Structure 1
Amino acid sequence: MARCGRWCLPEASETTGDARKTCGEEFQLTDVLIQENVPVGDSGLLVDVFRPAKTDDPVPALLFLSGGGWRRKNRGDMKDRYGIKMAERGVVCIAGEYRVMTEAPWPAPLHDVKTTIRWMRNSADRLGVDPDRISVGGSSAGGHLALMAAGTPNSSDLEPPYFEGVSSAVATAIGIYPVADLLATAEKSDLSELFPDGVTEVALLDASPISYAHPDFPPTLLVHGTGDVRVDYRRTVRMYDALEAAGVPVDLHLYSGQDHVFDREDLYSSPIADAMALFIKRYAPAAVVAVAD
């Protein structure tokens, strides 16, 4: 571990197996309840729900979105990568989905993410979650959507028609090798189906998380491999810098030499799950209830 605090640079050989100790807290892993293909109201969306089996009080929740270049749905990949791991660490994890570009153009994918956030808040009692401790995260294209949702809460032109009156705001945000700047992505990826009216600079800026790095952005955890040939890690560094300049609590974990989707290996996904759970519990703490004498 080169440096810790708000900026972390883990070396692969130094982050394996001991992340709980370096974070200063150990997790008591718990059994997990799994529900798959749960409908999100009448929106047509489905989610998989991973819950700690033994909880008496409402717990924090994380909506996690898989990547796929806005073209592929990979919700099932999240079960072993983060779904079970987060529930073991005391966080209800919702593996979400969103319409891909062949199904609907922008901002439909973002609408789907916000629909699911609203559904989680509306269904908090049934899910066993604290409605004030809902976070959103994702990897690659899913990370892009997670950061966009975090940066545009309750924005009238970017809100879905489902669960009206329910807030889409989140307590924290997590981006794992996220696409934070679409302007830097257009040259490598064909986004014409996502933006059928034209892949213009204005359209890309309006759909880029870095454009929304404002003081009200929720506390954010960013993770990236420095050997990523698909999404340049320096764009995530820029997102970190922009959030820090705005006064937002933000952590950045850079994994030396790791390529895109390096967290498919448990060697990396386990310590990242530790970091996510600690971050969520740090910035979305349980309410302190006063006890009368």
Structure 2
Amino acid sequence: MTTLGLVDAQQRGMVASFPSFDPKQDDLTAFRRVLVDGTTALLNSGSVGFEERLIGGPTGAPDVRVLLFHPAKPAGTTPAILYIHGGGMIAGTPDMQAGVLARLASDTGALVVSVDYRLAPETPFPGGLEDVYAALLWLHSHAAELGVDPKRITVMGDSGGGCLAAATALVARDRGEVKLRSQVLIYPMLDLRTGGANAPADDPTTGEFVWTRAQNQHAWSAVRGKLAENDPMFGYLSPAFMRDLSGLPATFIVTGALDLFRDEDVTFAHRLWHAGVPTELVVYASAVHGFDMLPSALAERFRHDVVSALRRLL
């Protein structure tokens, strides 16, 4: 079926022209290039400046590159947002979102630190997650130098980066080294069954555009590697499988009614409520995956809602 008629009217033409990626016949390197070039142009990221640093990576792994977006004229210590970019954990760079991240720093008054984590399949789980966690430890331990309040750190990510943000919050809870203020998950990729034969839900009105079932299954296979389902780390790979969600920080989740991840995101929010975690969930009608990047009134409403939530949470 085609769900184009259900898509936000202002975004419909742009959604229909999105490049597609068929993992059975298309080249991953080419997809990565198209994603970065297209997103950079869409978000005007090429004209945005930022501070770049190399920080110590996980034990035995390379250093991790992070980009810092400073708020204008901070008064005293600021909150911080550790941001993890999207791309299904197989593509993307923090640079491609520089336009959005600079604006986020300005709108919230927070230092935004975006992580250039290693991608799958070259680096399967838990390489990317450990890169992000190393960046969290660095941000927390260097808070005084960076002018950051270590008690006001939020982890935030979109799509595959939303998965890593949720997993980082779980790791932080369980390792007990950093207490996060909150987590903000933008249409997060949480359940590796989505798009497959064993998916808990499969609404045909979701997942036609931008990120499809085939893409999702391909990405999860690349990230998972050979990790067995009974491995103790499995819930950090795919947070939908984490049995205990108690003790997590206050949470804000955004998803779209036409997004492939809609049902897993709603289910995750329900589980957080049951676990006693203060959680807000917003599901936007007529919204596909990545809708916030497309100029429209819908995208502006998203920006207002997310900035308002971050101001409350931080």
TM-score for the superposition, normalised by structure 2: 0.69
1:283 aligns with 2:295: no
Contact kept, 8 Å, 1:79 with 1:95, in 2: the verdict is no
Is the CA contact (8 Å cut-off) linking 1:63 and 1:137 kept in structure 2?
yes
Change (3 A) 1:40 1:272: farther
* Residue of 239, 242, 246 corresponding to 1:215: 246
| C-alpha distance after superposition, 1:11-68 (max 9, x if no partner) | 979xxxxxxxxxxxxxxxxxxx953332124652112111112112111111111111
Q: Is the 8 A contact 1:12 1:255 kept in 2?
A: no
SS across alignment from 1:174: strand
Structure 2 counterpart SS, 1:242: helix
Aligned to 2:89: 70
Counterpart for residue 224 of structure 1: 255
Whether contact under 8 Å (1:34, 1:51) holds in the other structure is no
Offset at residue 93 of structure 1 (A): 1.1
What is the aligned partner in structure 1 of residue 136 from structure 2?
Answer: 117
Quote the Cα distance in structure 2 between the aligned partners of 1:226 and 1:201: 32
- Checking the alignment, whether the CA contact within 8 Å between 1:192 and 1:198 is kept in structure 2 is no
Residue 167 of structure 1 aligns to which amino acid in structure 2?
E
Q: Which residue of 2 aligns with 1:196?
A: 225
Q: For the structure 1 residues 95 and 34, does the alpha-carbon distance in structure 2 shift closer, same or farther, using more than 3 Å as the test?
A: same
Aligned residue identity for 2:190: A
- Please give the alpha-carbon distance, in whole angstroms, between the structure 2 residues aligned to 1:186 and 1:134: 35
1:259 aligns with 2:269: no
Partner SS for 1:197: coil
Query: How far has the Cα of 1:84 moved from its partner?
Result: 2.3
Change (3 A) 1:212 1:170: farther
Query: In the alignment, is the contact (CA less than 8 A) between 1:85 and 1:270 conserved in 2?
Result: no
Pair 1:114–1:185, CA change in 2 (3 A): farther
> Can you give the 5+ residue segments of structure 1 that lack an aligned partner in the other structure?
1-10, 14-32, 157-165, 285-293
Quote the offset at 1:69 in angstroms.
1.4
**Deviation per residue, 1:252-280 (Å, 9 max, x gap):** 11111111111113545554444334333
Task: Return 108-117 or 177-186, whichever deviates more.
Answer: 177-186
Query: 1:136, CA displacement in angstroms?
Result: 0.5
Deviation at 1:201, TM superposition (A): 7.0
Three-state SS of the structure 1 residue aligned to 2:258 is coil
Q: Please list, as runs of the form range in 1=range in 2, the aligned pairs for 1:30-69 lying within 5 A after superposition.
A: 34-41=49-56, 43-69=62-88
Choose between structure 1 and 2: higher helix proportion.
2
Change in CA separation of 1:123 and 1:240 when aligned onto 2, cut-off 3 Å: same
Cα distance, 1:127–1:77 mapped onto 2, change above 3 Å: same
- C-alpha deviation, 1:80, in angstroms: 1.2
Q: Which has the higher mean CA deviation after the structures are superposed, 215-224 or 180-189?
A: 180-189
Q: Secondary structure at the match of 1:145?
A: helix
Q: Percent identity?
A: 26
Two-structure CA RMSD over aligned residues (Å): 2.6
Give the distance between the partners of 1:91 and 1:214, measured in 2 at CA: 27
Q: Distance in 2 between matches of 1:283 and 1:232?
A: 24
Which secondary structure state, in structure 2, belongs to the residue aligned with residue 193 of structure 1? helix
The 8 Å contact of residues 88 and 189 in structure 2, kept in 1 or not, is answered as no
TM-score (normalised: structure 1) = 0.74
Relative distance call for 1:92 and 1:185 in structure 2 (3 A) is farther
Match of 1:176 in 2: 186
Cα 1:273–1:41 change in 2 (3 A) is farther
Residue in 1 that maps onto 2:120: 101
Contact 1:81 1:269 in 2 (8 A): no
1:140 is aligned to 159
Q: Aligned partners of 1:200 and 1:148: how far apart in 2?
A: 16
Q: Which residue of 2 aligns with 1:26?
A: none
Q: Which runs of 5+ in 2 are unaligned?
A: 1-6, 10-47, 198-212
CA distance in 2, matches of 1:151, 1:255: 26
What is the aligned length?
A: 244
Letter in 2 for 1:264: M
Distance 2:185 2:96 in 1: 17
Counterpart residue type for residue 121 of structure 2 = T
